[in-house]
Structure 1
Amino acid sequence: MKHFENICLLCLLFWCSNIFAQTDISAFDFGQDMNEPRVEIFYSQGTLSEDSYLQLRLQVDSGWSINSNAPGDDFLVPTTVNATATGITYAPTIYPTAQKEFIDALDMEISTFSDTFSIILPIAELKDDYDSISTVATLNYQACSQGMCLAPTEIEVKFSEQLGTSTLKKNSFKDEAPLLNTTTLSDDTANSKNRPTWLLMLLFAFIGGLILNLMPCVLPVLSIKVLSLTQQAQESRRRLLGLTFTMTAGVLISFWVLAGAIILVQTAGGHAGWGFQFQNPIFLLLMTILMVLFALNLFGVYEIWLPSSTQTGMGKLTSKSGFGGAFFNGVLMTLLATPCSAPFLGSAMGFAFSRPPLILFLFFTATALGLAFPFMIFAIFPRSLSWLPKPGSWMLLFKQFLGFLLMGTAVWLLWVLGKATALNVVVATLVLLLLLGFGAWIIGFLGAPGKKASHVLLSWLILVILALGGWFYAVQPALKQEEKAHTISSTDIWAKDAQGWHVWSPQLIQELQAQGKTIFVDFTADWCLTCKANELGVLSLNSIKELFNEFEVVMVKADWTKTDATIAQELRKHGRSGVPLYLVYGTGLKQALVLPEILTPDIIKDALLQAGPSMN
């Protein structure tokens, strides 16, 4: 039987790898198809000299455009042209004047080329043995319509293939440009160019999910899962596999629900990004309640169980195998992972959020599998659990310790709730938590294992009454009062927060750039633990403060704790679906420099060296 399971597992892995190897994501049809641009290549009329030039004439399908040589966003691929020919050296490329175009798929304005236009490569040097017929031009571009942006593509155009044999005259074009044919890529070639970009970003999503296991957000649930693995290490391999894949299902379904919610918000015209649910006070409140109740369970205040007289076959199965608990762990791990970002994850999600719904679901699936992957490895190779200590009395103390971790998470959630709303909402939430804690204690007293079914039902009825009373008489009035409160935002673009950071606005950045200032912009949120780790571990260092003073850096902060459409649009502009995002502007940079999600002092120093100090 054991050999049979191994064979089935190997077949499953082989099948999955085969699917990934054969799937051509770029072949999916998400809207109107675009033909490759028509490209014509020729030299200026007359005998070639250092005053001559190579010209590429391009024609783009109606309804489409390609990014200009400076599209205005680091995430978008600019159009570039390179040419080689025996004995000919070209000067820097001259691009046409670009047009500004708002792309609905990106929800931002970018710089584009469209219709028919020309790109010029002036000749800088001609050798005596030059051969213009050997000219090969390479065009790299990325095309966008209002509904989507395609992956970057490369076209190679050979001058010799565009000349008729009767007009081929080496080194001499005296009177007219030759008649030209159109060079395009075949569908297979185009797909082969597109595939690496899609698969690379998909791999980034998986790696980002894997790294999320190391982030502080999932520490409480991760610790509980380690405790669970310790308990299960002595169990059968089949049971371990079942529990682990049930937890994986919880992670997957939770990510799919989040993806669906994001799509619904975007379809309704709203702005949704990674971790957007933490901008909703109701979600923060419910998560706080969940953390406190879970912690009280770990402390032993109450237990959830069914009396033997009411257990069904399914109830016994759940109680014995813990599938419900495993699924719940997967859901909880997902909910606590979303306020964190990780290396690779920001770029992957920024890519996915500008794509159609099917692609967004695919990327969320890859991230979910990355998050669950370590536990899947433990289940597939149970011998790897041998390093865990054997179950014993220490587990009771460790279980109670984990309760304090969850309480700490609840405190953090309350702090975020206070930042997103007001003090009276936090106080109302504490009242509700007090009532729920009392209700949980009653369940532990009246509904403890061995009590009558009537006592269990009564204890749960008391908990429900307390919860409804706390909600309708404490929390709901506080939330309504907060909705009616009107906060007057300052119109002063030079306003600063309590820490001395300028409050971000597009107008402020434009003004500072016009003054030649070096700018460091921190896109953050109070619920973003990665942001807070960077602030405490890097940005608050005296060495960084001295570095900012040395370069006369203007520090700007964009706070996304609450929903802000302008900040959301700026995040998408730089290829991000959520925070953190760090930008550096300076006179030594042509455009904003995007820093990694995880900061180090050396990363900031290198960026400032590229940007240069502020101009006085």
Structure 2
Amino acid sequence: FMALALAIVSFSCTGPIVGTLLFESASRGGIGPIVGMLGFSLALALPFMIFAMFPGWLNSLPKSGGWLNTVKAFLGFLELALAFKFLSNADLVLQLHLLEREVFLAIWIAIFGALALYLFGKIQLPHDSVLQSISVGRLFLGLLVLTFTIYLIPGLWGAPLKLISAFPPPMEYSESPLGVGSSGNATMKELPDGAKYGPQQIVTFHDYETGLAYAKSVNKPILLDFTGRACVNCRKMENNVWSDPTILPILNNEVVLISLYVDEDIDLPKDQQFTSKETGSKIETVGDKWTEFMITKYKTNTQPLYVLTDLNGNSLNTAKPTISYVSVAEYYEWLRDGISAFKK
């Protein structure tokens, strides 16, 4: 059971990495995929190998006692918080709108607030020893958790919460996408047909053909954004990089953003479903369609993946055709290089 739980929880975010390595191995070969898989397997196996080679080291570990109950309770609170993160991922993919941003943050505030009270000794669980006093370490940890809890509270009113930007649902997936008390209508662009407001209120298309037609009508390059509703690094890029004052004007004014969700769970019409010649998988949903597009065209399956293209679908950045999770400076240079190539 523990092995199954480890596989489900630990490997859910590594699928794209391993998938890309396996695809590289099958299509190109070379030493790169071997080194990648070796590093991946070594990181998982090394702790078990070390304790198997030196079993005496296990005896040096602290003995169980009251401190271990505190550790287990602390990890239990964290596990409960992360469980809502995984539930939020499912809610995002299915677009149920049950765990919108405000609800998610309210739950986390309650969980970490209760954890702070527990660390301060105000709450006791059934197997805890009676506390006469708390240690300095426990007090310090309690203050950290309390600080984190207070930090979360402004998020209920639209604060970006950049320290944890990858965990809550995105701003546009909330009861008040513009924040409480913010109208924003006066400064927002009129939406073209088929577009929606995406992260940072950027005009975004979610269908390639619709976005391509609009890009041709305004003669702007296309920024393809292969993303996922449950993608942690995608949210980090949208909240920490796209929001930067040097990046946001470019995304708003100089490119046409097309965000293609590879986990979009909407069935394709029967006449558009097919079996992929590249992977052999059956393409049944919109997410499958964009995944197939990404693998066939760009030979990778990782998110986020950004591609700047001209109006014929050709990559504009010859040195680095695609880019993924990078810094603001690198993303800016990459955008500038591609836009300059489009204007030549």
Per the normalisation by structure 1, the TM-score is 0.30
Larger radius of gyration: 1
In terms of fraction of residues, the more strand-rich structure is: 1
Per the normalisation by structure 2, the TM-score is 0.50
